[in-house]
Structures are given as C-alpha cells and as structure tokens.
Amino acid sequence: MRYDRIDPELFVRNRDRLRELLPKGALVIVHANDIMPTNADGVLPFQQNSDLFYLTGVDQEETILVLFPDAAEEKDREILFVREASEHLSIWEGDKLTKEQATEVSGVKRVIWTKDFEAHWHRLMPQSQSVHLATNEHLRATAVVETRNDRFIRDCRDRYPLHRYERLALLMHELRIIKDKEEIKQLQRAIDITEAGFRRVLSFLKPGVGEWEVEAEYLHEFVRRKSRGFAYPPIVGCGRNACTLHYVENQSVCEDGMMLLMDVGAEWANWNADMTRTVPVNGRFSDRQRAVYDAVLRVQRGATDFLRPGVTPMEWRDHTLELMEAELIQLGLVDAKDAKEQDKDERPLVKKYYMHGVGHHLGLDVHDVCPPHEPVREGMVFTVEPGIYIREENLGVRLEDDILIGKDENVNLFANIPVEAGEIEELMNS
C-alpha cells in the first residue's frame, strides 16, 4: 500500500460499534471483493469491499472477517482470515500480509489463513441464532456482477436453509454515515491532494489546452503525492461539454472564451475527495459567465448554511430549489410569473437548468451509503454541488465542496481551495 498505515484503533472502534447493534447470538461474515477480470488474462485494479475495509483496514483480496460476540469460546468471537503468504506469491505479486501484520493493521488478534475458512464456518454456524451477511443496498446500485459476498450468501442458504439471515447493510449504513475523527483525517488528506492538483491546473490552463491534458495534470499531482489516482472517473468539460452531467470523454480542446468545468477528486487510503470547480479558460470571466458563476456560488453557500442537524433530505432539496429559482429569475432564464404558476413540488422550470441533486454523503464510497430519508446529524460529511447548465449558451457551471456537519457550525473541508471568482482570476493570472 502506498498510503501511511492507519491507526488500527479506528477499526477496533468500528467493530465495537457494530457489536453494540447486533442482537444476541448474531454471527457476522464479510468477504473481500474479487479481483475482476477484463479480457484474456487481464484484471482490473483491486478495490476492497468498503464494509470489510471499514471493519478491518485490510486492503487485500481473499480476506474474510467473522464476528461472533456470543460465541461459546472467546477465541471465536473475532477472527480474520487472510490469504496465505508464500514465496511464489511474493515473487509474482508482491508480499502478502503475514498473520502478525494482519493483526497490526486490523487490531484483530486471531488471524487464520483463508484456506481454512470453511472448517471454521461450519463449526460456528450451528451456534448462531442469526447470520448477518453483506449486500450492496445503495439506492443507485446496479448489481449486474455477482460478488464474493453474493456467492457466499447463496452457499449459506443452500447449506443452511433453516437459519435466520439478516441484512448487515442496514447496520453498516447506520455506522458509516457518522465519521470517526480518524476518518475525517483521512478524508482531509484526500482533499488536500485534490487542492494541490487544482492549483497545478490553474497555473497550466490556457486556450488551446486539451481536456485530456488537464486530466493528466491532475493525475500527475495526485500520484506524485502517493494517491492511487482519481476517486472516480474525472469530468473535465469545456463549453457545451460542461452541460453533460457525467461527461467523461475529456477529448475536446479548451478554447478562448469558454468555461471549463472540472469535477475531480483524489483517493487516499480508500477515502475519497469530491470537488467541482468551473473556471474561465483564458483566466478572465466574461460578465455573463461571472453572473452565472456568482449565482451558483450563492446557492451553494445558502444550501450549505441550511444543511444542519435535523434537516431532512427533502427539506434540503426543496430549500435549494427555492434558492436556485430566485437566481434563475435574476439571470433572465426563468420568468417570475411562470415560476409562481409552476408545480412547486416538481419545479420543472428550475430543473431545465438545474436537474440533479444538491449533494450526497461522502466517505469510503464517493456516493457513500446511508439509510434512506435519514435526517442530517452531527458527524456526517456531505458534498454540496448545485449547478446551472445553459445548453443554448454552451455554458455550464457547477461548484462543489465537502462539508462536515458540526454541532455548532459546519466545517468546509475544502476551505483552503479557492472558489471566489476574483481568487480564481488572480491565481490564473499571477
């Protein structure tokens, strides 16, 4: 792993919090993700299962965590299974964790080789009153590929059809929405790396530069700071491309007079930053560009101020739509009379120019897991990312920061990253 070793007490605390939510006699089993194939003998870079990493800190394939707080023998109450290290693996793939190293990383004292998992599984299953297994229940997930956890669920049901099975996801979502102080530290590292990339790009950008070159500048800065790279496929879109919400081709040339929208974030130790900035390619906003930019910035700040403990996602959305409607009227994009007469729940006139959500939870997943309709609570981290997209003007502006919900006030984790139009111009022309 490139990143600095994380304090294992984070993962000890996470497991302790999970135990507090488990019913008596519950057995928890979580598997690592697979190494996914591409074509021929190619494989994709390994990405750990977020729940397993949250509970163990182990960033290695073929890893399994077993938690059984009420097991008859104390040694069975917490077991970590890892892939057996060997000279052959060391030569071809690099070193794997030893049992001692796995304990150092995770804080789990009992570590066993994964090849011995089945014997322990069959020994522990009869003791359990319920079995909690991992599923992907993100509201926007498209589960086309069967995961290692999916296969294990099928095996469990085939071998033990009369056991009571429970959804671990419900508990993990409740835990993961509140960020530990150590998680905030790791998130801030990802954000600081993102800031370095953004500042690099501001000094590089000029008319004639390719969107792909801007992407390369970010990647260079991220990797040189020991990030594995982008937290998600980067969006680098100039002119009309900025009006395509998930534009990832990054293949056009940035021309004089255009605005460039950059939705990028660095990954650090599996945590993710998520930033959007929109800047003038030539370093100077036109009057119209500045008016749209400032409107988006006012909506973003108003949406951030409203995002306080107790607010529901729907209240946050509706408040942001109200703010946006007022700005669109001032920009001459929406008629005030028509706005009064439109459906106040749907606001179709607003959604013509602002058609996506205001933000999402952030953490080990870019669109982090959360219980549906959960009100805002202290310790959550949200993105706040309103935008205005005027296709007929080839102009799209989105601004996005990552916000930690505090007890007395919110904390903008992107506070050091320039966002004021004047700051952007000054940096680009200095």
The average pLDDT across 38-47 equals 93
Q: Specify whether 157 is located in the same domain as 143.
A: yes
Residue 85 confidence class, pLDDT cut points 50, 70, 90: confident
**Rounded mean pLDDT of the chain?**
96
Residue 45 covered by a domain? yes
Confidence at residue 89, expressed as pLDDT on a 0 to 100 scale: 85
Q: Specify whether 307 is located in the same domain as 339.
A: yes
Q: Specify whether 44 is located in the same domain as 160.
A: yes
Is the pLDDT assigned to residue 1 strictly greater than 80? no
Q: Specify whether 154 is located in the same domain as 245.
A: no
DSSP letter (8 states) at residue 310: T
Confidence at residue 142, expressed as pLDDT on a 0 to 100 scale: 81
Q: Specify whether 266 is located in the same domain as 191.
A: yes
Give the domain CATH number at 77. 3.40.350.10
Domain hosting 143: range is: 9-176
Give the domain CATH number at 340. 3.90.230.10
Q: Specify whether 172 is located in the same domain as 187.
A: no
DSSP letter (8 states) at residue 375: P
Entry pTM = 0.95
Q: Specify whether 189 is located in the same domain as 166.
A: no
Residue 4 covered by a domain? no
Q: Of 176, 194, 223, which marks where a domain is finished?
A: 176
Q: Of 113, 142, 176, which marks where a domain is finished?
A: 176
Residue 207 covered by a domain? yes
Q: Specify whether 116 is located in the same domain as 191.
A: no
Residue 165 covered by a domain? yes
The average pLDDT across 294-313 equals 98
Q: What gap in Å lies between CA 299 and CA 386, rounded to an integer? A: 7
In total, how many domains does the chain have? 2
Q: Specify whether 165 is located in the same domain as 275.
A: no
> Which among 369, 401, 368, 385 is positioned nearest to 245, based on CA atoms?
385
> Which among 225, 239, 308 is positioned nearest to 273, based on CA atoms?
225
In one-letter notation, the amino acid at residue 10 is L
Residue 272 covered by a domain? yes
Residue 400 covered by a domain? yes
Q: Helix, strand, coil shares of the chain as percentages rounded to 5? A: 40, 15, 45
Q: Which contacts of 247-253 are long-range, i.e. CB under 8 A and separated by 24 or more positions?
A: 249/211, 250/211, 250/212, 250/214, 250/215, 251/210, 251/211, 251/212, 252/210, 252/211, 253/208, 253/209, 253/210, 253/211
In one-letter notation, the amino acid at residue 68 is F
Q: Of 151, 176, 201, which marks where a domain is finished?
A: 176
Q: Specify whether 170 is located in the same domain as 193.
A: no
Residue 111 covered by a domain? yes
Residue 249 covered by a domain? yes
Q: Dig out the tokens for 45 from the structure.
A: 């870079």
Q: For 151-165, what is each residue's pLDDT tens digit?
A: 999 999 999 999 999
Q: Which residue has the higher pLDDT, 144 or 6?
A: 6
